[in-house]
Structure 1
């Protein structure tokens, strides 16, 4: 399979969209996911990134809510580690995309397969 530069750039953008700030880390992979359903390479990368980013967002929101009742303070290091894990795995995914390879984020594959 011959992967074009555009395909690689879209896949990289999906994985590293958190660099856009705000909700860009959800919006960018979602748009790519919806617009590139006919491109298996870009679609799979966008799907992996979207699920990983949504999982981190949901866990962060839950922890923030729990912080209001003090319990969440204990979870802050866990969330920090999860964000670090997202950073590391998304860089790995971007490198895989540059090389024209697929990547699967750890821990979320059951969610990805349902989508």
Structure 2
């Protein structure tokens, strides 16, 4: 399978969309996921990124709500570690995309298979 530069760029954008700020880290992989269904390479990368980004968003929201109850303050270091893990794994995924390879984020594959 010959992967084009455009395919690699879209896959990288899906993984590193959190650099866009705001909800761009959800919107970019979602748009790529929806418009590139016929391109299995881009589609799979976008799906992986979308599920990983939605998982970190859900965890952030839950911990944020728990912070109001003061319980969440104890979870803030955990949230920091999760975000660091997302950054590291998304960089690895982007490098794999440049190499024309697929990447599966750790811990979320059960969710990804349901999408």
TM-score (norm 2): 1.00
Q: CA deviation at 1:68?
A: 0.1
Please say if 1:79 is aligned against 2:79: yes
Name segments (4+ residues, structure 1) moved above 6 Å.
none
Aligned residue number for residue 110 of structure 1: 110
Please say if 1:28 is aligned against 2:44: no
TM-score (norm 1): 1.00
Which blocks of at least 5 consecutive residues in structure 1 are unaligned? none
In 1: Cα distance, 2:12 partner to 2:91 partner: 9
Listed one character per residue, the Cα deviations across residues 62-114 of structure 1 (whole Å, up to 9, x for unaligned) are 00000000000000000000000000000000000000000000000000000
Please say if 1:61 is aligned against 2:57: no
In 2: Cα distance, 1:111 partner to 1:102 partner: 17
Please say if 1:39 is aligned against 2:39: yes
Which blocks of at least 5 consecutive residues in structure 2 are unaligned? none
